[in-house]
Structure 1
């Protein structure tokens, strides 16, 4: 192609212009953007020379020349393609300069749309609003332009007024005004009203099972901290569109937080099969690595928020702060980014910075359960702000009694004040309609504090059934074993006497053997005896799976549980 272009004597000036544009187009599709810009520039120069020549030469009246000139690629279209190349090269200033050179009256909707997006990215909000409005003037149903205006704080009523004529003239468009209202709530951070409005929209026959609406609803539930409903809506959207990519990074993150790592891995594989040119599959893979505690790999694969979390868990707090700040810049509505940054500030003992950031979040995202809890978390770090923390947590729990983070922080405050009965009531109420490993474990801790050992053991067991790797629940069980009362010691002496008397064939052994058994933590303490006597052999098997390695025939007889003949050899 380049050889043909250089042989100018074989082609007319208009043909040379066409060949240069076609050559540049092919380079663009091969992703050779710099080379494409060079060829587009040459084409524009050729077009300029062609225009001068046509002005100088008198008209020959040749009818064949007219269709040829009409078929030439548009100069405006060439400039648009040059701007596309510059955006791919991340040279936004050059892209803006090219498009600004096009007279306003000659700008097509797609040129105004690109200009609006570039102005917005560059922080030139007034110019961006003007360009978006121009798009809507030309195309009143351009939904992306509507979203662009709403994202720049243009009021929903003003945006709706620009579409009112088209809504009245076309049937079945009555949903559009409510759609604009819903996304106006989204961009003002009013998640509750946005969710309610979109749910109303979803019930309309025209928008039922709309994938975009389901994705927006899932994202809103995520922002509101309702992870369960968020996952549900993402699953619905994914079932309707198996090739959906948008929002799947958040979906993968939520699945990873739920501990569903196999589902996360499958999701990542599916997304990579669809396209590896999007960020979502890489973020999902980063989430899988992070929650699998492969932090170095998460650092390589993940987005800014995951990188920040990975660096924080690796102890590189200052680097994590940089990544969380960048994540907040890119996604100012993502509460988890603020939470990560504040955790880093607290870890580095920067209480003042954490307080400033928590107050900013509270003002920016509004007084909801999440922001109230985040601010209370920082207040708990200082003795003088304990009462403020209590007030904030009470407000958060009034809004959402089931919000786990608020319940955990309120329980922490009650533990400091040694109000264990109040803490138990709080946790029982929170667990009435949900089951969470952390809540069961904390309830176990509170029950130990009031000497309710048997129920505490039940709570630790439930926590471990929800998360077998929860180390704190295991530590709680081990701590119970060590906290023996005088009555327990007497009972264990009776057990030792039984072993020494030789009355039972299965319990033959000396006092030294019993002592060794106790030292190795193989004999059942009061806490596990109470638990196993209540739950029976199945619970004992579960205990063995957690690495206690008890001598089962002796242990079971000490607990008054009959020894059966067909106990699995693996247990013995």
Structure 2
């Protein structure tokens, strides 16, 4: 039997390409692959051309040249059309090899998925949807339906997203992301649970799934307390004890419920179990920064950058450090970088929105808070950010409308009552309503810090200092919070109790060394202190003043050191 030299070359080249691909050496194919296909087309059968074009596109995709890869995958599909028109694969090499090759050709469906993946990475969502929509429904694999569902959801096509998520569950009943997707689109928990009933009954040790669905249904309905109770019951089950994902979810729900202490505790537990954990660490970093633990935030951010700088979380954490160090321009940049990496990062949107608001760019901030609300309709901090923007631009009517909407949608809990009261405090006409709302909030949760702070502000306006002192002492009996200690110091100054006021300001600064208002409170106290008291306590005041000045200088020094360490962010 005689062999055509060109055909033999084609088979050898094809074999070499296969060897590189299956050995994980895709990059080795790039220098000659594309040129060889284009300049030696006569060597290859239509099937070989299609296969080599796909391999070439895979190599380019591996190098993260996504636009180029999408182009090459499209060329491969064009070649596949030529191949489909041919009644049979050309058998220039003798037939057997060609038939074997035809059976192992890359799937056309898989190639379309890769094109959609390229478009998604390039943020060309409409093009990605168009490619996947072109695949007949019966030929869509679970991963295609999952990508399509996520794209539909992002585009606001909720009905189509629900249909695609349900199709994923029909094919893979324990696809947890699809379950969460359905619950986030307001599909009832009972309906979702019914779609998994067969698998839970037939597979042993899967009885936890129905409870898990119930917990996430509560989360997406904004019923934080019932979500906490349900997740805690799950955590006690032996199969899910010390489950990191469950702990992160529990921490997040505590955060949404305004329970900062337990949220931080659960995040720390999860982090100890998995030192490489990234998911949820942006919220943890934000809470730590808000509580004044900036050194710990710096360490956390550095550790996460060492794990991966391709996730939004480390950028958000470093942005929170900048924001609470009053470096708003840098916080804005870091928030934008996080959004670039993950446009669905709610914490990144909130960070950027807060930075824009504090820089006076209120209208731009509003856009970011609205997008955060769209992505997380049950997170109250998204609404609070938007309301703050309205109040900053004197839009009391808009703020009141938003607060009333939250109150009606999520019900009368301590958080929604406090948000509504906050807006009422801005209008002299609604001061009494604000007081009533705050009393209701504190009746539900006496330890809810935001409600205590707003009630104290109201009592300060009314000059009811003794009542304010009693309120703050009661709140501090079971917790230690910088803002509450500082406010108690302010009230004590108002009743001339300077010594205890000094103690309260000192405690506040020990909790947050960067709290400028506590420092200002000390200065105000010194001015209002009587000359006689100042003379008697001169030595003690000098010593305390010296100590506080030293702490402040140390804080400035640390801030300067932080500013110099640009490489910490992975940027020069």
Q: TM exceeds 0.5?
A: yes
Find the partner of 1:360 among 405, 408, 411: 405
Deviation by residue 1:33-88 (Cα, 9 ceiling, x = unmatched): 22222221221122221122125989x99555432211111111111111111111
Structure 1 residue 349, shift from structure 2 partner: 1.9
* Pairwise CA distance, 1:459: 2.7
2 CA distance for matches of 1:546 and 1:3?
71
**Is the counterpart of residue 122 in structure 1 residue 155 in structure 2?**
yes
Equivalent residues in 2 for 1:67-78 (5 A)? Answer: 67-78=100-111
For 2:87 and 2:147, the matched residues in 1 are separated by 32
Aligned residues: 505
Q: Residues of 2 paired with 1:318 and 1:229: CA distance? A: 34
* Bigger Rg over Cα: 1
Shift of 1:547: 4.3
Aligned pair 1:16/2:49, yes or no? Answer: yes
- Tell me, in whole angstroms, the C-alpha distance in 2 between the residues paired with 1:95 and 1:463: 52
CA contact (8 A) 2:505 2:521 kept: yes
In 2 relative to 1, CA 426–94 (structure 1 residues): closer, same or farther, beyond 3 Å? same
| Residue in structure 2 matched with residue 290 of structure 1 by the alignment | 323
> Corresponding residue for 1:383?
428
Aligned pairs for 1:397-436 (under 5 A) are: 397-436=442-481
8 A contact 1:179–1:198 mirrored in 2: yes
**Structure 1: any 5+ residue segments left out of the alignment?**
493-523, 549-572
Aligned pairs for 1:266-415 within 5 A: 266-302=299-335, 303-415=348-460
Give the drift of 1:182: 0.7
Q: Give 1:237's match in structure 2, choosing from 257, 270, 274.
A: 270
Gaps of 5+ in 2: 1-32, 336-347, 551-572
Bigger drift between 346-355 and 209-218 goes to: 346-355
Q: 1:265 to 1:13 in 2, by over 3 A?
A: same
- The root-mean-square deviation of aligned C-alpha atoms, in Å, is 2.4
Q: Cα distance, 1:540 vs. partner? A: 5.2
Q: Deviations over 1:169-203 (max 9, x none)?
A: 11111101101111111111111111111111011
Distance 2:284 2:274 in 1: 14
Tell me by how many angstroms 1:371 deviates.
1.9
Distance 1:204 1:451, change over 3 A: same
Alignment CA distance shift 1:479-1:74 (3 Å): closer
Instruction: Tell me how far 1:13 sits from its aligned partner.
Output: 1.6
How far apart are the structure 2 equivalents of 1:211 and 1:471? 37
Shift, 1:469, TM fit = 4.2
Residues 57-72 of structure 1: matches in 2 within 5 Å? 62-72=95-105
Distance 1:396 1:25, change over 3 A: same
TM norm structure 2? 0.83
Identify the residue that residue 554 of structure 1 maps to in structure 2: none
State whether structure 2 residue 48 is matched by structure 1 residue 45: no
Which residue is equivalent to 1:562? Answer: none
5 Å-filtered alignment, 1:414-563, equals: 414-483=459-528, 524-525=534-535, 528=537, 541-547=543-549
Are positions 1:191 and 2:207 aligned together? Answer: no
Question: After alignment, is 266-275 or 539-548 more displaced?
Answer: 539-548
* CA-to-aligned-CA distance 1:222-243 (integer Å, 9 cap, x gap): 1111111111111111111111
Compute the displacement of 1:123 (Å).
1.4
SS of alignment partner, residue 237 of structure 1? helix
Given that residues 83 and 89 in structure 2 are in contact (C-alpha distance below 8 angstroms), is that contact kept between their aligned partners in structure 1? no
Q: Aligned in 2, Cα 1:30/1:398: closer, same or farther, shift over 3 Å? A: same
CA 1:381/1:14 → structure 2, altered by over 3 Å: closer, same or farther? same
Distance 1:62 1:233, change over 3 A: same
CA contact (8 A) 2:354 2:365 kept: yes
Mapped to 1, the partners of 2:516 and 2:232 lie a distance apart of: 41
Structure-2 residue corresponding to 1:201: 234
C-alpha distance in structure 2 between counterparts of 1:3 and 1:457, whole Å: 77
Conserved? CA contact 2:293–2:512, under 8 Å: no
Instruction: Decide which moves more: 353-362 or 461-470.
Output: 461-470
Distance 2:513 2:75 in 1: 66
What are the Cα deviations for residues 365-388 of structure 1, in whole angstroms up to 9, with x where unaligned?
433222211110110111221121
